[in-house]
Chain A
Amino acid sequence: MSENRKTNPFAPFLSALGRALGMPALALLTAFIIGAIVILLTSGDLLAAPTAYWGLIRGALFKQRGLSESLVASIPYVLLSLGLSVGFKSGLFNIGVEGQFYIGALCAAWAGQITTGLPAIIHLPLALLAGAIGGAIWAGVPGYLKMRTGAHEVISTMMMNYVAFRLTEYVITDKLRDVNSTTIQTPSVSPAAELWTFAAIPQRLQDPLNALGVALVLALLTALVVRALADRPDWKAKLGARRGLAIGGSGLLAGLIAFVALPLLTNAWWPFTDAYDRLHTGLIMAVLAAVGVWWLMEKTTPGFELRTVGANPNAARYAGMNITRNVVLAMAISGGLAGLAGTIEVLGVSICRCLPLFFSSGYGFDSIAISLLARNDPFGILAASFLFGAMRNGADLMELSSGVSKYIISLIQALALLFVAAPAIVRWMYRMKAPAGEEKQAPLTRGWGG
């Protein structure tokens, strides 16, 4: 063994690979390998693991609507993990995302059914906002309690989870029950408050008000992209004083084109023809949320404050930052994203477009694993969420085609997480040297004298 440790011929290659792909990828690979070994040992069949993994891949990607369903499952993961990552970066462990998810769903279900008279351009944003605000408040309270009374957020958000579960149950069965339905659920939301599936887009755009809404969103996005590009040195020089004009003009132009052309174009040709395909526009929101969180945390002054408070609250105080405000803000953003995840499930995924009593998710706790796996990087979260969504979606076909229990998925995910949390294990397995920078982690080197 120790011979091996010194002379593993692959060590340089592996450590290069590890550096390139990052430890998470290597951890994942290792988890799958160990998963295969476990399958082999429990089934005694050499072919069991390949069959199972192939079934997993087919289920996740290639079966009918496989990819769509994987994406649908990853959307709440993205939002919840983003929420968690904002908390982690601000030094807070918001273990209550599951409860905030429920409250968001509840608020959205309520806001979606108050009337059927509003157009989508108002009602949909309203419902989304209601869900996000519900989640934000549900998380903001523990944040405030932490600063006021010292109640640790892990305890208080976990308690708030139970309150959230029981509260939603109560509201669904009593206050907001759909009396016309045989199942216990809230009334379906107004069609105007529904989140569009991709398949429904052409038909939705036929309503000029809807087209206007989409055009506004696209105009804004175009302007933002041009604005980001305009700060590049070469563009800056070229644009000079016309920067504002370029940004506004391009936004306006994009909006106009979208308003006029999109309804016609999508009517003529649209790739999403399968009416039963559940892939919905929450996907776009999830990607935008990832970009937004990245921008907020890395590029803005509030993000700088949040990160400082998370990394060294004493230094944050010294620097004049308001710790209470930042803790509450971090929790509110975190909970808002979680609430949005619940909202999207109600408005875009649930069959009744409502909140049924048996609305189990389990997304919240998986998301803790995802944000750790992605090391709180928003784009890593996109990737890891897709992975978890795909595994969740492919597991059934895996079990069906190979007889391997679908719970092996949880084992693999748990192993991956373990390896990410303790990279030394992976390094030891592949006989890799620790990167020089990480040696500083040695617990005894914190003295300021050196």
Chain B
Amino acid sequence: MTIALQATGITKRFPGVLANDHVNFTLKQGEIHALLGENGAGKSTLMNILYGLYQPDEGEILLNGQRIQITSPHDAIAQGIGMVHQHFMLVPPLTVTENIMLGQESIQAGSQALGPLALLDRRSVAKRIRELSQRYGLAVDPDATVQDLTVGAQQRVEIVKALYREAQILILDEPTAVLTPQEADDLFVILRNLVAQGKSIIFITHKLREVFAVADQISVMRAGKMAGSVQPAQATRELLAEMMVGRAVILTIDKTDANPANVVLQVENLRVQDDRRHTVVNDISLSVRAGEILGIAGVQGNGQTELTEALTGLRKVVGGQVTILSQDTTHVMPRQISEAGVSHVPEDRHKHGLVLSFSLRDNFVLCTYYQPPFAKGIEIDFPVLEENARKLIKMFDVRTPGASTSAGSLSGGNQQKVIIARELSRPVKLLIASQPTRGLDVGSIEFIHRRIVEARDQGAAVLLISAELDEIMSLSDRIAVMYKGHILSTLDASTATREQLGLLMAGIGGAEPHAPAQRSGNNRRNGPDSPLEAMNV
């Protein structure tokens, strides 16, 4: 096998951090190379260097045996290196074709003479896209508008975009973090097709299952250094976890049985609409008691986001009632809900969870800045903020040069730890956690899971929303499955099986005894393929 890309001695310093420390990395032609490592280990930095977003302080890059300089993403694309970022760089109102053309517009034959007014040649681009999607098994409709696509489909568009630019090497930074297990498996089939046709792929992930499912070679980074490289056949989950973290990691959490007490959160017949005024939470009722964890399983996009937003006051409730500790919170401001003792780990950490330009010190008090001891009157007590930040950074092992670092310069996983630390550091009566461990490394997941169970044991009610079935199964005491805005069934976690949940998540199987009857025609979204019809009741 020939070597496609080789990086040697790559070093990159940021103020106060050695993000890459003489890293060597070799990508062979036609392989899927998984890159693992703790949060903040330097994976994204290394990839950003290969893609020309950062310039290394030291080291060199060889492409097909030739030394090259990659000074910009443009350069990288010209050399055949494509990258798919975690958050896609697509323009939502444009079509797939237009998005793919963007920056490389091709022009209709004969209209070049018009100069800048030349006509765009959408048709041949669309044809090319169809060819590519056929060849690699990437289901992409060139005429669809990007904002209507699911996350998985948008990701495929990103991949097609890179292929359209004739990428030979494809870098995927945590592509599966936002995908459902099923979508992830689909992606792996695509990746297999790609390498079969000679492409080479670097694939960053935190999920060991995926590494074994798809990788030909596994490299592990730790604290800026390359900790080692192994083949899947020689590796075990435990070995990889240990290589990443430097110690043995407990991959399953042991918790005692729940001691449910009084009802903390009571939701009755809740109806919520999304931004386009479709009813996406449809007549949901549930309750969570102090000292128990209710997990909401479900494929993303079945109303979980809107449900949590409604519960935390960020979205208007159309119908029904929410009661938190016998206080009616259906139509109150987020501040009142948070003061009732609700902590919220939001699903989108960049949109809601953090102010990226603020220091960690300030982000740690985003919800409590006005309360003692952080404020005296209207004056903020900054020494107390410093102290608080130092304490939380230590307690939650946030990898950062200091409390004054901006949240935006932290690695993705460490940003998540900042949010969790903030939300668990105040008195919690109800914890609403949405995808709390998305993008975290195994060590941090273990840590966060412990904290969540601990919060439960200290008497908090926990509502856990996760697309990660493993997470739901290992943490929850009861599991509700959400499908198309309904809760299909609530199961006891000790008896629920993976298969049972998987079927429910796909909308097949058992119904809540008091499941709502099919509503007459007023709800288009639940028309023909409504879960209830699909269930044949």
Of B47, B55, B355, B357, chain A has the most CB atoms within 10 Å of the CB of B355
Contact code string A417-448 (vs B, CB < 8 Å = 1, else 0) = 00000000000000000001101101011111
* Chain A residue at smallest Cβ distance from B206: A449
| C-alpha spacing A318/B380, complex, angstroms | 20
Chain A nearest CB, measured from B304 CB (Å): 17
- For residue A284, CB closer than 8 A to chain B, the reply is no
- Looking at the complex, which one of A315, A439, A446 makes contact with B54 (CB distance below 8 Å)? A439
- For residue B89, CB closer than 8 A to chain A, the reply is yes
Chain B nearest CB, measured from A114 CB (Å): 33
- For residue A320, CB closer than 8 A to chain B, the reply is yes
Query: Which of B123-131, B229-237, B367-375, B505-513 makes up part of the contact surface?
Result: B367-375
A450 and B380 in contact (CB under 8 A), knowing A312-B355, A315-B366, A318-B352?
A: no
Chain A nearest CB, measured from B47 CB (Å): 7
A446 and B350 in contact (CB under 8 A), knowing A320-B335, A320-B367?
A: yes
Chain B nearest CB, measured from A340 CB (Å): 21
* Chain B residue at smallest Cβ distance from A300: B378
Contact A314 B369, beta carbon cutoff 8 Å: no
| C-alpha spacing A318/B54, complex, angstroms | 33
Contact code string A316-335 (vs B, CB < 8 Å = 1, else 0) = 01111110000000000000
A448 and B409 in contact (CB under 8 A), knowing A301-B380, A317-B314, A436-B15?
A: no
- Looking at the complex, which one of B14, B47, B338, B379 makes contact with A299 (CB distance below 8 Å)? B379
- For residue B353, CB closer than 8 A to chain A, the reply is yes
| C-alpha spacing A312/B349, complex, angstroms | 12
Could you count the A-B residue pairs with CB atoms below 8 Å apart for me: how many are there? 122
- Looking at the complex, which one of B48, B348, B369 makes contact with A445 (CB distance below 8 Å)? B48
| C-alpha spacing A446/B337, complex, angstroms | 30
A450 and B87 in contact (CB under 8 A), knowing A312-B356, A315-B354, A444-B53?
A: no
| C-alpha spacing A320/B312, complex, angstroms | 10
Contacts of A445 in B (CB 8 A): 48, 53, 85
Chain A nearest CB, measured from B342 CB (Å): 10
- For residue A400, CB closer than 8 A to chain B, the reply is no
Give chain A interface residues in 152-211, CB to chain B under 8 Å: none
Chain B nearest CB, measured from A326 CB (Å): 12
Contact A311 B314, beta carbon cutoff 8 Å: no
Give chain A interface residues in 293-307, CB to chain B under 8 Å: 299-302, 304, 307
Contact B412 A450, beta carbon cutoff 8 Å: yes
| C-alpha spacing A318/B334, complex, angstroms | 7
A322 and B333 in contact (CB under 8 A), knowing A312-B356, A317-B314, A449-B44?
A: yes
* Chain B residue at smallest Cβ distance from A233: B383
Contact code string B152-183 (vs A, CB < 8 Å = 1, else 0) = 00000000000000000000011001000000
Contacts of A70 in B (CB 8 A): none
Contact A318 B353, beta carbon cutoff 8 Å: yes
Give chain B interface residues in 330-369, CB to chain A under 8 Å: 333-339, 344, 346, 348-358, 362, 366-367, 369
Chain B nearest CB, measured from A292 CB (Å): 13
A320 and B14 in contact (CB under 8 A), knowing A440-B408, A448-B439, A450-B412?
A: no
| C-alpha spacing A315/B45, complex, angstroms | 26
- Looking at the complex, which one of B89, B379, B409 makes contact with A440 (CB distance below 8 Å)? B409
Contact B411 A450, beta carbon cutoff 8 Å: yes
Contact B375 A442, beta carbon cutoff 8 Å: no
Contact B173 A437, beta carbon cutoff 8 Å: no
- For residue B86, CB closer than 8 A to chain A, the reply is yes
| C-alpha spacing A312/B13, complex, angstroms | 28
Contact B378 A311, beta carbon cutoff 8 Å: no
Contact code string B80-99 (vs A, CB < 8 Å = 1, else 0) = 00000111010000000000
| C-alpha spacing A322/B370, complex, angstroms | 13
Give B contacts to A, CB under 8 Å.
Answer: 13-15, 43-45, 47-48, 53-55, 73, 85-87, 89, 173-174, 177, 204, 312, 314, 333-339, 344, 346, 348-358, 362, 366-367, 369-370, 375, 378-380, 382, 408-409, 411-412, 415, 439
Per CB-CB distance, the 7 closest pairs between chain A and chain B, nearest first, are A450-B44, A449-B86, A320-B335, A447-B86, A449-B174, A447-B87, A447-B85
A–B complex contacts, Cβ < 8 Å, 26 sampled? A301-B369, A302-B378, A304-B370, A308-B355, A308-B358, A311-B355, A312-B356, A314-B352, A318-B353, A318-B367, A320-B334, A320-B335, A436-B15, A437-B409, A439-B53, A440-B408, A444-B89, A445-B48, A445-B53, A445-B85, A447-B86, A447-B412, A448-B87, A449-B86, A449-B177, A450-B86
16 more contacts with CB within 8 A, not counting A439-B53, A439-B55, are: A300-B380, A301-B375, A302-B378, A308-B358, A311-B355, A315-B353, A318-B353, A320-B336, A436-B13, A437-B15, A439-B54, A440-B409, A445-B85, A448-B86, A448-B412, A449-B174
